[in-house]
A and B are shown apart, each in its own frame.
Chain A
Amino acid sequence: RLLGQLFEMYQFIVRLLFIFSSLCFFSLTGISGKSQILFALVFTTRYLDLFTIFISLYNSSMKIIYIGCAYATVYLIYMKFKATYDGNHDTFRVEFLVVPVGGLSFLVNHDFSPLEILWTFSIYLESVAILPQLFMISKTGEAETITTHYLFFLGLYRALYLVNWFWRYYFEGFFDLIAIVAGVVQTILYCDFFYLYVTKVLKGKKLSLPA
């Protein structure tokens, strides 16, 4: 569990590194603004419980950091460095994700209450939020190395949660079927990317797909 959270932190650090390296080169080439908007929506709808329950100082501060980073990323892409954002290739129709995910969260949830539905929505949406980014890579056929590192850690942290959930079920009898199924879906969506990352990026090549 700690490992999962450490990697979660790590993906945010990589994200920040990505932003800072972009600041240096004034370029956001290859990053999907739509995926980043979806992630901002994911963290906003999931962490509304900041106002209702307190788990630990760590938990609350990480939630605030996640929300802050998500909106900072969106701001940088659409406002500050709009000129270098490649919107022409970022053409995934997000309504095809948000509408079905919204519908599903009303139908399959733990409790039919506003906060619980929004939490379920965020879990489902997170599992597919990377699709605009993967679509963009498949469209342009390549990605900056820093983008691929960022995507790798974004995928890795949910994959590590799978280990955590197995552990918690085994030792604490705790499980949350919605989170587990969504986590499995999210990890599966990343598999193709993981394969490319290991076979290409780690061997020092820039990720580029055959035309």
Chain B
Amino acid sequence: EDTVPEKDEL
């Protein structure tokens, strides 16, 4: 995978 999803969840 090329993109790292945003970590805005707990």
Q: What number of A residues sit within 8 Å (CB to CB) of B?
A: 21
Residues on B with C-beta less than 8 A from A164 are: 9
Residues on B with C-beta less than 8 A from A177 are: 1
Q: What number of B residues sit within 8 Å (CB to CB) of A?
A: 9
B8 to chain A, nearest CB (A): 5
A174–B5 touching, CB < 8 Å: yes
B3–A179 touching, CB < 8 Å: no
A116–B4 touching, CB < 8 Å: yes
Residue of B nearest to A175 (CB): B5
Residue of A nearest to B8 (CB): A55
Q: Cα distance A1–B10 when bound, in Å?
A: 10
B5 to chain A, nearest CB (A): 4
Residues on B with C-beta less than 8 A from A63 are: 10
CB of A107 within 8 Å of the partner chain: no
Residue of A nearest to B5 (CB): A176
B6 to chain A, nearest CB (A): 8
B7–A53 touching, CB < 8 Å: yes
Q: Cα distance A59–B3 when bound, in Å?
A: 22
Q: Cα distance A103–B9 when bound, in Å?
A: 24
Residue of B nearest to A110 (CB): B4
Residues on B with C-beta less than 8 A from A53 are: 7
CB of A62 within 8 Å of the partner chain: yes
Residue of B nearest to A56 (CB): B8
Residue of A nearest to B6 (CB): A174
Residue of B nearest to A168 (CB): B9
A114 to chain B, nearest CB (A): 13
Query: Which residues of B does A touch, CB under 8 Å?
Result: 1, 3-10
| CB<8 Å pairs between A and B, sample of 17 | A5-B10, A53-B7, A55-B8, A59-B8, A59-B10, A62-B10, A110-B1, A110-B5, A111-B1, A119-B7, A161-B9, A164-B9, A174-B5, A174-B6, A175-B5, A176-B5, A177-B1
